Amino acid sequence: MGQFKKTEVYDAILRSAKDLFSERGYFHTSLPLIAAGAGISTANVYVYFKSKVEILYEIYDPWLRARLAQLAAEAQEIDDPLERLKHLLRSFWRDIPREEGGFANNIIQAISGLGNEQGYRPTLLRWMKAKIQALVLDCLPPERRAMFEGTQLGHFMVMAFDGFIVYHHLEPRRPLDERTLDALCRTLMGLPGPTPPKSAKPAKRGSAKNTTTLARKR
């Protein structure tokens, strides 16, 4: 006869795990620590979850899905396609990796050493790739959209997302910069670059000669 699962114990495990993951990171959080934080035995944790990574996914999966749903809703409010695309990629590559104290880095730590047989869930990854690709394609003009349909653009976006998660962990003061973001978005949309600033006024006649003369005297 299976052991009865209580909702309050399940919630206590997730609360304890989230606090520990946020404070210590995935590598330095153990099931005994999670159990202690939830006020139960380690053996009792296994009644609810098969592994530590399963606990992490139970926290991360609904949070990320809700966050991307929020991002999609925000994008719908932006009429200009270029600005909409910038907002999508800025949020996806700069904001989300640093939210919740950089909590997303836990998933990178977890999957770096896991295989399918150890609790890895490809379901979230597949959903995320399809979601971000659809959001990006919706910003592009028809001819550019046709160019990227059927490609692995979403896979590229998610791999960059994972990279920015790691980069935020290492260099939190150097996020995705606006110039790079603008250049990439214009490239995706097939738009020309912004008008460069006017060059400085030409030097007065004789200035080059004077500089040469001074250099010789030195």
Quick one: tokens of 28? 């330095």
How many Å apart are CA 84 and CA 81, to the nearest integer?
A: 5
The pLDDT of residue 168: 87
8 A C-beta contact, residue 190 and residue 141:
yes
Domain boundaries, the chain: 1-49, 59-189
Q: Is the pLDDT of residue 200 over 60?
A: no
**Among the listed ranges 77-81, 112-116, 206-210, which one has the minimum average pLDDT value?**
206-210
Question: Which residues have a Cβ under 8 Å from the Cβ of 201 and sit 6 or more positions away?
Answer: none
- Fold entry, domain 1-49: Arc Repressor Mutant, subunit A (1.10.10)
Q: Hey, how many other C-beta atoms are within 10 angstroms of the C-beta on 80?
A: 10
Inter-residue contact 126 to 195 (CB < 8 Å)? no
Predicted TM-score (pTM) of the model is 0.82
Token couple for 90: 């800025």
Tokens linked to 153: 């653009």
Integer-rounded Cα Rg, in Å, for the chain is 25
* Model confidence pLDDT, tens digit, residues 22-65: 999 999 999 999 999 999 999 999 999 999 999 999 999 999 99
Q: Average pLDDT, stretch 83-96? A: 97
* Top-confidence residue, 17 or 206: 17
Which tokens in the block code for residue 132? 């971000």
Proportion of the chain above pLDDT 90, given as a percent: 75
pLDDT, tens only, 126-166: 999 999 999 999 999 999 999 999 999 999 999 999 999 99
Q: What is the number of alpha carbons within 13 Å of residue 12 lying toward its C-beta? A: 16
Q: How far apart are CA 155 and CA 83, in angstroms?
A: 22
Report how far residue 24's alpha carbon sits from residue 141's, in angstroms, rounded to the nearest whole number: 45
